[in-house]
Amino acid sequence: MKIKVGVIYGGETVEHEVSIISAIQAINKLDQEKYEIIPIYITKDREWYTGNMLKDIEIYSDMNLIKKYGKNVILYAKDGSFVLQNKKFPKNIITDIDIAFPIMHGTNGEDGVIQGYLQAIGIPFVGGNIYASVVGQDKVFMKDIFEKEKLPMTKYTWFYDCDYKNDSESVIKEIKKLKYPVIVKPATTGSSIGIKVADNDKELTEAIDNAISYDNKILVEEVVTDLKEVNISVVGNYEHQKLSVIEEVISGNKFLTYDEKYIQGNKGKLKGGFKYPVKGGSKGMASANRKIPAEIPDKQKKEIEEIATKAFKALGSAGTCRIDFLIDEKSKKVYINEINSIPGSLAYYLWEPLGVSYSELLDDMINIGIKDYKRRLSKTYTFDTNILKGFTNGGLKGLKGVKGKLG
């Protein structure tokens, strides 16, 4: 019997479109002999849809078609299985699902929100658990953990929007302990959205105002000026980790922009060579201009592999992650930049040079998801207690302190 995989994507995030691309790529590559693939698309206004026509990327250019021909559903646990049910008349069950596979980027998808929902209803799912997902999305939390592990990072500070509004002087004073140029980032967005480099005080306030429109938590870092950006992917869980080749991503701007990540390659600037283009549109993160493998000395390669493994383990990540690094070409110093818990295109292109096909990568991820689910089941999450017994006897015995307050 085939395993029914519900691929969940889209959602309320600035990376909605990128998520659609990543998900459709994966849907096309999941082994159809092994899996029955059920697309579950979440619109920007949080409605869930299913239907085979969602496997075709062209449908997403007209939301009305999806609303008209897709089935508006909810996913929940029913009689020991997990079902997708029509929200509208005749409210029939459309299918059951064995395992959920979130391929979502950014807020409400990669950040623990969807993982929390999936865990709450009890369905097995692919990828990191709630904790790894939350920390992997919040650049400040992430840095706290990296710091604990003594991983090398650029100098940084962070603040809340309210503190900036109440006392901008103190916040600016703190930022000025860093050296210009600095890079200002909303703590929880992705795809370079809301990020600006500032070379002076005027640019700094502009960059802060811009970042604040995306998030209430803002990170400011020193810029690595002679920059080489390299990424590596890790597959596994807290027990085992496998490392991909390292890529170098190439930017013609001050930093790698949204356009460079997802759009330029489709304007013919790239030599191409990616085997899984999505018909008529962006190839997602696979579009960016890159060198594989990165041309770096062995010593740096080793350092990056070690840091990546430590970061993956420390966060308790699972499935596949892409971990990004900044190399200062002058000092040859390596800094960890961030971890992407559900990377664009699931970073499949970093595995192919090692002979791992995209389908095999997806298989691996599903197997890890099943294993992690079984482990969760084997742990004890409840225990028997008679603490509530007093209530049924009509009293509050044993809760003396509470009695007075409730009485």
Ligand X SMILES: Nc1ncnc2c1ncn2[C@@H]1O[C@H](COP(=O)(O)OP(=O)(O)O)[C@@H](O)[C@H]1O
Instruction: Report 225-254 residues binding ligand X (CB under 6 A).
Output: 227, 229, 251
Region from 24-32, 171-179, 183-191, 392-400 binding ligand X, contact rule CB under 6 A: 183-191
d(Cα 96, Cα 81) in Å, to the nearest integer?
7
Q: Considering only residues 115, 244, 337, 341, which one is a binding residue for ligand X as defined by CB under 6 A?
A: 337
Residues linked to residue 186 through DSSP beta bridges, in sequence order: 218
- 183 is a contact residue toward ligand X (CB under 6 A): yes
- 191 is a contact residue toward ligand X (CB under 6 A): yes
- 223 is a contact residue toward ligand X (CB under 6 A): yes
- 255 is a contact residue toward ligand X (CB under 6 A): yes
Region from 33-41, 218-226, 353-361, 398-406 binding ligand X, contact rule CB under 6 A: 218-226
Q: 223: alpha, beta or left, given left = phi > 0 and alpha = psi -120 to 50? A: beta
- 370 is a contact residue toward ligand X (CB under 6 A): no
Region from 13-21, 209-217, 219-227, 313-321 binding ligand X, contact rule CB under 6 A: 219-227
Is 223 or 232 the residue whose CB approaches ligand X more closely?
223
Least CB distance from residue 155 to ligand X, whole Å? Answer: 9
- 338 is a contact residue toward ligand X (CB under 6 A): yes
- 285 is a contact residue toward ligand X (CB under 6 A): no
Which residue's Cβ has the minimum distance to ligand X?
255
d(Cα 302, Cα 324) in Å, to the nearest integer?
15
Contact 194, 210 (CB under 8 A): yes
Least CB distance from residue 384 to ligand X, whole Å? Answer: 45
d(Cα 347, Cα 284) in Å, to the nearest integer?
10
Q: Considering only residues 57, 256, 278, 342, which one is a binding residue for ligand X as defined by CB under 6 A?
A: 256
How many of the chain's residues bind ligand X (CB under 6 A)?
Answer: 20
Least CB distance from residue 75 to ligand X, whole Å? Answer: 28
Q: Considering only residues 10, 39, 127, 190, which one is a binding residue for ligand X as defined by CB under 6 A?
A: 190
Region from 126-134, 221-229, 262-270, 360-368 binding ligand X, contact rule CB under 6 A: 221-229
What residues make contact with ligand X under the rule CB under 6 A? 154, 183, 185, 189-192, 195, 221, 223-224, 227, 229, 251, 255-256, 324, 326, 337-338
